[in-house]
Amino acid sequence: MDNLMIMATDLMARETRRVDVAAQNIANGGTPGYKQAVAFDQVVNDLRRNEGVPVSATNVVTDFTPGKLQHTGNPTDLAIRGQGFFEVATPEGAAYTRAGAFHRDEQGYLVNAQGFRLQSQDGGDVRVSQSDWRVEQDGTIIDHGIATIKVRVMTFDNDQLLARSGNGLFKTSETPLEASHAQLAQGFLEASNTVTGNDMVQIMQAMRRVESGQKLVYAYDDMIGNVLQRLGDM
């Protein structure tokens, strides 16, 4: 009967995690550059369980499929056509993002909502004038008719090694590579790549499976209750 409880608790934990992932995607359906999380099941060996019952774990990976580009007309909004990530400097080191909703701070640096500065190809901070500047498709910034710096766009051999760190940022210990074929679109933002309808279906299916797990727990409780009652009657 212990196996029944293992199956029930495993099922409920796995499906609750699936609900959390889908809810996160839905909440970020309107967040520029957001990349949806995808939950999948993997059979694992749990050495803490001596019964030898196979259990599952819900792993979460990121779907880095590019979202659609939406025109904003804001010159500080940038989007990447194709693969690649913007690099921003954080107090903990470099972070990478597809969210190109930058703005010009008081010192003229292009920063994201958290104030992290966009990085240039030479490793410096991207700084622009208050007006009369543009970003070419290759990332080169033309400021008052002069090519100044180039926006850094990086890629990785394995995107799945990127770990979410919040606010649309990803971090990794892997060495980034220059995304030589990436093209930038100024005045555009990349939309979230979530599909809300699919996530709603995932939530409903997961909730039904959670209910099934609860029924197993109730059945287990009934069996234990019956056993104890019979032992008491002996």
User: For 177-191, how does the pLDDT look when each residue is reduced to its tens digit (9 = 90+)?
Assistant: 999 888 999 999 999
β-pairing, 103-104 vs 140-143, is unpaired
pLDDT at 94 over 50: yes
Question: What pLDDT is attached to residue 198?
Answer: 85
How far apart (Å, rounded) are the C-alpha atoms in residues 222 and 228?
10
pLDDT class of 58 with cuts at 50, 70, 90: low
Question: What pLDDT is attached to residue 6?
Answer: 67
Question: What pLDDT is attached to residue 114?
Answer: 96
For 226, the enclosing helix (H) or strand (E) is helix 196-233
Provide CB contacts within 8 A for 57, sequence distance 6+: 14, 41, 42, 44
Beta bridge partners of 153: 86
Question: What pLDDT is attached to residue 48?
Answer: 44
Q: Phi, psi (5° rounding) for residue 202?
A: -60, -40
Question: What pLDDT is attached to residue 1?
Answer: 47
Question: What pLDDT is attached to residue 92?
Answer: 94
Question: What pLDDT is attached to residue 96?
Answer: 98
DSSP 132: S
Question: What pLDDT is attached to residue 14?
Answer: 79
Q: Which of 78-82, 106-110, 137-141, 226-230 has the lowest mean pLDDT?
A: 226-230
Q: Which of 80-89, 140-149, 154-163, 215-224 has the lowest mean pLDDT?
A: 215-224
User: For 150-159, how does the pLDDT look when each residue is reduced to its tens digit (9 = 90+)?
Assistant: 999 999 999 9
- CB-CB neighbours of 37 under 10 Å: 18
User: For 126-140, how does the pLDDT look when each residue is reduced to its tens digit (9 = 90+)?
Assistant: 999 999 999 999 999
pLDDT class of 91 with cuts at 50, 70, 90: very high
End-to-end Cα spacing for the chain: 21
Q: Which of 7-11, 51-55, 91-95 has the lowest mean pLDDT?
A: 51-55
193-205 burial string, b = 16+ CB within 10 Å, else e? bbeeeebeebbee
